[in-house]
Amino acid sequence: PQVITESLYALHLDGVAVNESHTLATRTGRDRILSGLLAPRDGHFHRYLKDYAIAPRSIRFEMESVHVLRDKTGRPLDDITGAADNEILLSACLSLAYRLTRNPKDTVFFSIAGGRKTMSACLMTAAQLYGRAQDRIYHVLVSPEFENHPDFYYPPAKPAMLEMTDNRGGKVLRDTASASVTLVPIPFIPLREAVSD
């Protein structure tokens, strides 16, 4: 879930106004997003908006924005564990990318960070097939010491100290002011014009 707020934070730093966010997820991922980001009182998405004085309704990101991968019977996938699950994932990536890129006035920022590696590969494929000249593909890079910390979702406006484990297993405190979050643009060749209806 952290890559969502980290990506939003990095786009905000670049002066990009985002008006909605969509996420593809397994059931497990959805549950982590709902509890970690979208919890009504203390979700990190709501904290991020408040922290950076972003109007609460300016970015549409809610339960309906989390697109859960489902099998043919409608049962949510817990994980991507084989070829059949990967086909479901690829189909969902293609469908969502097609839908989100239909309006020529919109710009879509594809973040291929987070999840299993196959999720990034499938989303990259969908972005190349349906992306347009104005769209972008990014990967988010976070300082290594903060990257997998369970309590780091973005650098807060008021820095805080997070407890971490050093190389020898000892506890150390790190100031979030030293964290860097960078969106790395991934070059791509948009193939949309070459794809038939």
- C-alpha span between 116 and 121 (Å, rounded): 9
- The secondary structure element, H or E, covering residue 159 is none
The Cβ-side half-sphere exposure at 93, using a 13 Å CA radius, reads 23
Q: Is the pLDDT of residue 148 over 90?
A: no
pLDDT digits (tens, 9 = 90+) for 39-56: 988 899 999 999 999 998
Report the alpha-carbon angle 94-108-27, nearest 5: 50
| Confidence (pLDDT) at 169 | 84
C-alpha of 44 from chain center: 13
pLDDT digits (tens, 9 = 90+) for 13-36: 999 999 999 999 999 999 999 999
Strands (E), 19-160: 23-25, 66-68, 109-111, 136-142
What is residue 25's DSSP assignment?
Answer: E
**Residue 24: φ, ψ to 5°:** -95, 135
The Cβ-side half-sphere exposure at 21, using a 13 Å CA radius, reads 24
Which amino acid appears at position 162 of this protein? L
- C-alpha span between 95 and 130 (Å, rounded): 10
pLDDT digits (tens, 9 = 90+) for 106-118: 999 999 998 889 9
β-bridge pairing 66-68 and 23-25: parallel
pLDDT digits (tens, 9 = 90+) for 71-106: 999 999 999 999 999 999 999 999 999 999 999 999
- C-alpha span between 157 and 145 (Å, rounded): 19
Alpha-carbon distances of 177 from 52, 142, 143, 174, rounded to whole Å:
15, 13, 11, 9
Report the alpha-carbon angle 146-147-152, nearest 5: 55
Which tokens hold the place of 160? 């805080």
- C-alpha span between 69 and 56 (Å, rounded): 27
Mean pLDDT of 185-195: 87
Reported pTM: 0.92
List 25's β-bridge partners, or say none: 68
